[in-house]
Amino acid sequence: MNGAETVVKFLEDHQVDTCFGYPGGPILVLYDAIYKRNFPHILTRHEQGAIHAAEGYARVSGRPGVVIATSGPGATNLVTGLADALLDSTPILAITGAVARKEIGRDAFQEADITGITDPVTKYNYLVMDPASLKPILEEAWELTTAGRPGPVLVNIPKDLLSAEIPESHDSFSSYARLRPKPLKSELQIDHVVRALSESKKPLLMLGGGCVISDLAPQQIDRFVNHTAMPTCLTLMGIGAVKPQAPGYLGMAGMHGSVQANKALGNCDLLLAVGCRFSDRAIANPERYAAGRTIIHVDIDPAEIGKNVKPDIEIEDDAGDFFRCLNQALPEKFSADWQEWQSYLTDLTQAYDKAAAPLLKVSEPLLPEYTLKRISDLLRQYNPIVVTDVGQHQMWAAQYFDIQTPRSFLTSGGLGCMGFGLPAAIGAAKAAPGRLTVAVVGDGGMQMTEQELGTLYDLQLPVMIVVLDNQTLGMVRQWQELFYHEHYSQSLLTTNPDFVKLADAYRIPGCNVHTAADLDQAVEQAIKTNGPYLLRVFVRQKENVYPMIPAGKDPQDLIMPGMDL
């Protein structure tokens, strides 16, 4: 086989059932092999759409998403998605074409040093220069995508090597191993954790994205919270790790998290943080946060432990393995003096629900909070996958969508990448055939990758696109209102396209939504369509996302209109 056929055969051997990509000159021989072997490939309309779709596929399936791009601009168009995948721990195998080996470094047509460019935004990357090393490099790259903390790996293959004959037998090389101290696994520290929990008066469990990624974790977390009723909050990436009905559930913590979750985060005397990285959006000022409380940090990535907050007990382990060990170590009748703390948090929850109640009432124009809560209620029986873009709608979706299962809430967390929503929803729907997927996008982010409506039409996937149209870059406008004296500099989108007509141009049905009755009818029609459908919902322009913690402030310094905090 030649190099291109070797790549396709490798993907077939690893049961890859689809990949996303866009062809170009240096990688045409690979696309010829894809054609000859009838390998399943989805043509997106832009390379950024391809890698976001691969992210969506990987997040739902738990398997590496595969993306293919040509050299130069094709490869550089993947950079944003690679950075997004690295921050949000998404396994991606990116295969890019390169100019011929003899042309490397000579500024050949469409040459770009993608190896150097992507070094900071991948777990590892390769430039293949020896035909005999192609297969071993692909094997190692595949393993690296999911080893430890998942992430993106890129393999760059010169076009002449794709055409070259690849030896049938070759010496494989083993994966590299980092030399570092022996990790402090759960078994070595679990007695300290149990003792700390027993002695605590105001504990809090914070679950991050690692608790969703670990397939074992949700089951073990459910067992733990039902056994202990320990107050529990989620990071944005941790949504879905535990059911909202679980004992002690407080909702999302962070800049736009619930009042009760943030008050718990700011006032707890013990924080058990599992599978999260203490980002600035979760705890604001990490330098001030650690004082006055015991912190237990569990993460599979040793680089995250102690990076932002120095823990008292550190455990390098998979979230599922940690909770398995913890459940085994807990006494059958676990008891702790948490009643006063739990009552305080229950009162806060009730007060927050009362303050937020006006946001869930029918109005004209529609409030985005009401809109997303109503859609969530109407779709509850379908257990949809919810995919968001980035902005105000992202936070409202996190607050008001009822997510019952892991891998059912997808968003760009660490990078905050506008344009993520629509292509990621396509990948998510592809990974879960027949399951309803809801893409919640803003009018700004929608216009960054709207060309992927063409991809969606080709695939006829059951994706309900909800465009919250407030004719503004909502989150930017909110900050300008609150912190920049209402100087709405370049944040108003007064010339938005007619998104329904745009969808129609791609032969996708849709409708405009102005009233509550319109909304109910549109959701019903979208369900009946059993394919792509677009709702353009006109919502109040100057609606702000609350609660809100101002940048640099602590979790307890949040703002929530209607509550005396």
Q: Give the end of a domain, one of 349, 383, 417.
A: 349
pLDDT of residue 289: 83
Q: Are residues 367 and 288 in the same domain?
A: no
Rounded to whole angstroms, the Cα distance separating 148 from 299 reads: 10
Q: Mapping DSSP to helix (H, G, I), strand (E, B) and coil, where does residue 481 land?
A: helix
Residue in 327, 221, 200 with CA at minimum distance from that of residue 270: 200
Provide the number of structural domains found in the chain. 3
Same domain, 286 and 415: no
CATH number, domain with residue 70: 3.40.50.970
Q: Are residues 298 and 377 in the same domain?
A: no
Query: Is residue 439 in a domain?
Result: yes
Q: What is the CATH number of the domain that holds 263?
A: 3.40.50.1220
Tokens 């969808």, located at residue: 503
Q: Do 33 and 159 lie in a common domain?
A: yes
Q: What is the pLDDT of residue 60?
A: 98
Give residue-wise pLDDT tens across range 196-224.
Answer: 999 999 999 999 999 999 999 999 999 99
pLDDT value at position 182? Answer: 63
**Structural domain includes residue 295:** yes
84 lies in some domain: yes
Which residues are bridge partners to 387 per DSSP? 410, 439
Query: Looking at the structure, do residues 93 and 25 belong to the same domain, yes or no?
Result: yes
Three-state secondary structure string covering 488-529: CCCCECCCCCCHHHHHHHCCCCEEEECCHHHHHHHHHHHHHH
pLDDT of residue 284: 73
Q: What is the pLDDT of residues 473-495, one digit of tens each?
A: 999 999 999 999 999 999 999 99
Q: Do 457 and 506 belong together in one domain?
A: yes
Same domain, 343 and 365: no
Q: What's the pLDDT at 72?
A: 96
The confidence band for 90, taking pLDDT boundaries of 50, 70 and 90, is: very high
425 lies in the same domain as 509:
yes
Classify residue 561: in a domain, yes or no.
no
Q: Is the residue at 197 inside a domain?
A: yes
Question: 372 with 519, same domain?
Answer: yes
State residue 187's pLDDT score.
Answer: 86
Round the average pLDDT of the chain to a whole number and report it: 94
Residue 397 located in a structural domain: yes
| Residue 247, C-beta contacts closer than 8 angstroms, at least 6 positions apart | 225, 226, 229
**Residue 183 predicted with pLDDT over 90:** no
Q: Does 344 share its domain with 366?
A: no
- Tell me how far apart the alpha carbons of residues 505 and 517 are, in angstroms, rounded to a whole number: 26
How many angstroms separate the CA atoms of 390 and 413, rounded?
A: 8
- Report yes or no on 551 lying in a domain: no
Tokens of 10: 């490798």
- The per-residue pLDDT for 392 is 98
- Positions marked active-site: 47, 109-110, 159, 475
The one-character DSSP state at 274 is: E
Residues 140 and 212 in one domain: no
pTM, 2 dp: 0.95
Whole-number Å distance between alpha carbons of 71 and 553: 44
**Final residue of a structural domain among 303, 319, 349:** 349
- pLDDT tens-digit readout, 135-180: 999 999 999 999 999 999 999 999 999 999 998 765 555 555 555 5
Q: In this structure, what DSSP letter does residue 20 have?
A: E
Domain of 522? 361-538
Q: Which residues contact 459 (CB under 8 A, 6 or more apart)?
A: 42, 426, 429, 430
In a domain, 177, yes or no: no
Contact yes or no for 225/515 (Cβ under 8 A):
no
Q: Are the C-beta atoms of residues 559 and 489 closer than 8 Å to each other?
A: no
Q: Which of 98, 131, 163 represents a domain boundary (last residue)? A: 163
Domain identity same for 228 and 308: yes
The answer to whether residue 424 scores a pLDDT higher than 60 is yes
Could you read off the pLDDT of 309-358 as tens digits, one per residue? 999 999 999 999 999 999 999 998 888 899 999 999 999 999 999 999 99
Which tens digit of pLDDT belongs to each residue from 13-61?
999 999 999 999 999 999 999 999 999 999 999 999 999 999 999 999 9
Parallel, antiparallel, or unpaired for β 203-207 and 152-158?
unpaired
155 in helix, strand or coil? strand
Say if residue 148 is exposed, middle or buried (CB neighbours under 10 Å; 0-12, 13-18, 19+).
Answer: middle
